[in-house]
């Protein structure tokens, strides 16, 4: 699913993990009875919201954009301002069930850096790639994924998480509606096809799948080099984002206390290595918040810190930004999909309350 990006690092701020030895998860903390209230709710899309991403405007962060999927066979990528108003000149229509979307910065095309929005188009088995902020296609009609997999559901695309590594290469981590017990996630290198369009090359398939439900939300932590995904009904799993480091599962967390599915994953970054990971407890209309960092004895021991009820219902995708985005969001932004065809925009302070920290401006 979606991922926050820093305009300073031009990289990801992203997910976080559990525990190598997979100890019993911490006891569920009791959430407060209060419900976080959004500052804005977006205008409604036509069919079915699913997943948001945020593009941070480097010239004026208050003019940043929210990109959200409208999941239908006649679907679209909607673009909103930070007050939730649709930017009609940027909306991309006639997409065939766009499921998840993510943003990345600085893909080199024709020798110049281009910011991109990437969405999974489930019914065509393709990634669609658009330049930001103009939302123009730069994929020559789409990039086919999981070519050679014979089962139809093994090619129906779902989750997407973008990764900008330390060498400047950009990758897409792609999930599907169904898949094998091992090798569920595909990692693809995105680069210039020498004609100014994006091409994709498969790097590896990795990742275990419980086969209980499905895997949708994918999050990548560029700064720390990890990729995380929600194995729904089981927990959040962690791997190295760099293929050369291997395919070993590093941890699993959030294994207890979820009412139904584990869904959207996003991170609020305090520093390069600290912060919070927020995971949607979809059936309970709440988010469980874990520490991004581990502890001295185990870097993957990420603890449950807080549970926050939200006004958004049956939330699937989410995005968290810790960059200040103007006077309405001075400590950052939390964007949540709601099943009434909208996205909810929360001030970070509304989520943090008195329990969590905020960035220092």
* pLDDT tens-digit readout, 242-294: 999 999 999 999 999 998 889 899 999 999 999 999 999 988 999 999 999 98
**Residue 361 is assigned to a structural domain of this protein:** no
CA-CA distance, 123 to 290, in Å (whole number)?
34
**Residue 357 is assigned to a structural domain of this protein:** no
CA-CA distance, 331 to 271, in Å (whole number)?
13
What is the SS3 assignment for 153?
A: helix
pLDDT band at 33 (very low <50, low <70, confident <90, very high): low
- Cα 53 to chain center, whole Å? 7
pLDDT on residue 190 = 98
pLDDT on residue 321 = 97
Does pLDDT of 189 surpass 60?
Answer: yes
What is the domain extent for residue 97? 5-352
DSSP letters for 94-131 = EES-EEEEEEEEEEEETTEEEEEEEEEEGGGTEEEEEE
Q: Which alpha helices (DSSP H) does the chain contain, by range? A: 348-352
Q: For the CA atoms of 38, 342, 13, 328, what is the dihedral angle to 10 degrees?
A: -40
**Residue 297 is assigned to a structural domain of this protein:** yes
Does residue 92 contact residue 130 with C-beta atoms inside 8 Å? yes
* pLDDT tens-digit readout, 82-98: 999 999 999 999 999 99
**Residue 360 is assigned to a structural domain of this protein:** no
Percent of the chain with pLDDT over 70: 91
Q: Which two tokens stand for residue 321?
A: 């930004």
pLDDT on residue 140 = 96
pLDDT on residue 261 = 84
* Phi, psi at 354, each rounded to 5°: -95, 5
* pLDDT tens-digit readout, 69-83: 999 999 999 999 999
**Residue 358 is assigned to a structural domain of this protein:** no
**Residue 290 is assigned to a structural domain of this protein:** yes
**Residue 314 is assigned to a structural domain of this protein:** yes
Mean pLDDT over the full length of the chain? 91
**Residue 359 is assigned to a structural domain of this protein:** no
Question: Could you give the angle at the alpha carbon of 73 between the alpha carbons of 72 and 78, nearest 5°?
Answer: 50
Does pLDDT of 4 surpass 60?
Answer: no
Give the number of domains in the chain. Answer: 1
Does pLDDT of 158 surpass 80?
Answer: yes
DSSP state of 169: -
Give me the CATH number covering residue 305.
2.120.10.30
* Mean of pLDDT values over 101-117: 98
Does pLDDT of 46 surpass 80?
Answer: yes
Instruction: Give Cβ neighbours of residue 207 (< 8 Å, ≥ 6 apart).
Output: 182, 183, 184, 185, 215, 229, 237, 239, 247, 249
């Amino acid at each position: 699913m979606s991922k926050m990006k820093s305009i300073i690092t031009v990289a990801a701020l992203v997910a976080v993990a559990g525990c190598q030895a997979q100890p019993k998860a911490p006891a569920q903390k009791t959430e407060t009875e209060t419900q976080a209230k959004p500052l804005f709710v977006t205008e409604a899309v036509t069919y079915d919201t699913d997943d948001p991403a945020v593009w941070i405007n480097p010239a004026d962060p208050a003019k940043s954009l929210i990109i959200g999927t409208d999941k239908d066979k006649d679907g679209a990528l909607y673009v909103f301002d930070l007050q939730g108003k649709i930017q009609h000149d940027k909306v991309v229509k006639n997409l065939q069930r766009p499921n998840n979307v993510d943003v990345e910065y600085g893909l080199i095309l024709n020798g110049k850096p281009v910011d991109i929005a990437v969405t999974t188009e489930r019914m065509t088995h393709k990634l669609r790639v658009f330049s930001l902020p103009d939302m123009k296609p730069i994929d020559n009609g789409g990039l086919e994924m999981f070519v050679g997999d014979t089962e139809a559901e093994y090619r129906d695309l779902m989750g997407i998480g973008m990764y900008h590594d330390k060498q400047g290469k950009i990758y897409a981590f792609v999930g599907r509606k169904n898949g094998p017990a091992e090798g569920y996630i595909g990692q693809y290198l995105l680069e210039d096809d020498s004609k100014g369009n994006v091409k994709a090359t498969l790097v590896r398939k990795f990742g275990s799948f419980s086969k209980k439900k499905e895997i949708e939300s994918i999050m990548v932590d560029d700064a720390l080099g990890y990729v995380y995904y929600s194995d729904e009904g089981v927990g959040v799993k962690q791997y190295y984002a760099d293929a050369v480091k291997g395919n070993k599962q590093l941890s699993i967390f959030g294994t207890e206390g979820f009412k139904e599915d584990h869904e959207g994953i996003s991170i609020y970054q305090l520093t390069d290595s600290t912060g919070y990971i927020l995971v949607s407890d979809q059936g309970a209309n709440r988010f469980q918040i874990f520490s991004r960092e581990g502890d001295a004895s185990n870097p993957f021991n990420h603890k449950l810190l807080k549970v926050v009820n939200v006004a958004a219902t049956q939330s699937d995708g989410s995005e968290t930004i810790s960059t200040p985005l103007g006077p309405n969001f001075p400590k950052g932004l939390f964007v949540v999909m709601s099943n009434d065809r909208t996205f909810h925009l929360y001030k970070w302070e509304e989520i943090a309350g008195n329990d969590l920290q905020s960035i220092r401006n």
